Amino acid sequence: MQWSRIAVFASGQGSNFAALAEAERAGRLGGGRIELLVSDRPEAPVAKRAEEAGIPALLLRPKDFASRELYEAEIVAELQRRNIGLIVLAGYMRLITPVLLAPYAGRIVNIHPSLLPAFAGKDAIGQALDYGVKLTGVTVHFVDGGMDTGPVIAQRSVAVEPGDSAESLAERIHQVEYELYPEIVRALAEGRVMLDERKTVIRE
């Protein structure tokens, strides 16, 4: 499996997918190549973005399958056909089962809009606003069997401003995501992210 052969998984708008595709186009993913978009919502805007970028898409409805495991088995078959070595979750709103985790252990990463372990799960931005924190941010982490619990690769903070709404805070968090994710995906694609138990190091 080659680290440089990337599949991006997304369920919604796909603005992070677009930022990654643009980074590849501009030569900012190093040797990284986005070979495939996987989406569990064929009607999601991200599917159109893949078409526009000329990136092949695997669009499947989980409810068309008898189980989550059979849905993921279909995905794994396609990933293996394309020799994918790195899975990049970018707003993919489902938990991964062992069917996908086992063959791709240590090769799946996610981006989450908070400073984990604070505000895991859904609506991290709303959770941070409701809690009243002054600082939140973005985390890129390896995916394990839990909900946003895998080893942290990188974090950036974003200040919560007085009067912030979910929309205004999300906008600033997104801008940080568009910078951070391509940088880390590049390091992963180049095999520069080392993992030792829960500790990660990015080599220069």
Pick out the residues of the known binding site.
Answer: 14-16, 68, 93-96, 110
- Catalytic entry in 5, 49, 107, 112: 112
Catalytic residue at 174? no
Q: Tell the smallest beta-carbon distance from residue 204 to ligand GAR (Å).
A: 26
**Which one of 29, 32, 40, 113 is in contact with ligand GAR (CB under 6 A)?**
113
Residues 51-80 that bind ligand GAR (CB under 6 A): none
119-144 as b/e: b if 16+ CB within 10 A? beeeebbebbbeeebeebbbbbbbbb
* Beta strand residue intervals within 69-168, DSSP E: 84-89, 108-112, 135-142, 152-159
Tell whether residue 124 is a contact of ligand GAR (CB under 6 A): yes
Tell whether residue 40 is a contact of ligand GAR (CB under 6 A): no
Tell whether residue 111 is a contact of ligand GAR (CB under 6 A): yes
Please name which of 92, 95, 73 lies closest in space to residue 146, comparing C-alpha atoms.
Answer: 95
Question: Measured from the CB atom, is 10 or 60 closer to ligand GAR?
Answer: 10
Distances from the Cα of 186 to the Cαs of 24, 100, 126, in angstroms? 9, 22, 30
Contact region with ligand GAR (CB under 6 A), list: 5-13, 25-33, 72-80, 101-109? 5-13
DSSP string, 2-60: EEEEEEEE-SS--HHHHHHHHHHHTTTTTT-EEEEEEES-TTSHHHHHHHHHT--EEE-
Give the 3-state secondary structure of residue 90.
coil
DSSP for residue 64: G
Residues 146-185 that bind ligand GAR (CB under 6 A): 174, 177
Query: Closest residue (Cβ) to ligand GAR?
Result: 91
Tell whether residue 35 is a contact of ligand GAR (CB under 6 A): no
**Which one of 32, 85, 91, 150 is in contact with ligand GAR (CB under 6 A)?**
91
**Interface contacts to ligand GAR, rule CB under 6 A:** 10, 12-16, 90-91, 111-113, 124, 174, 177
- Please list the active-site residues: 112
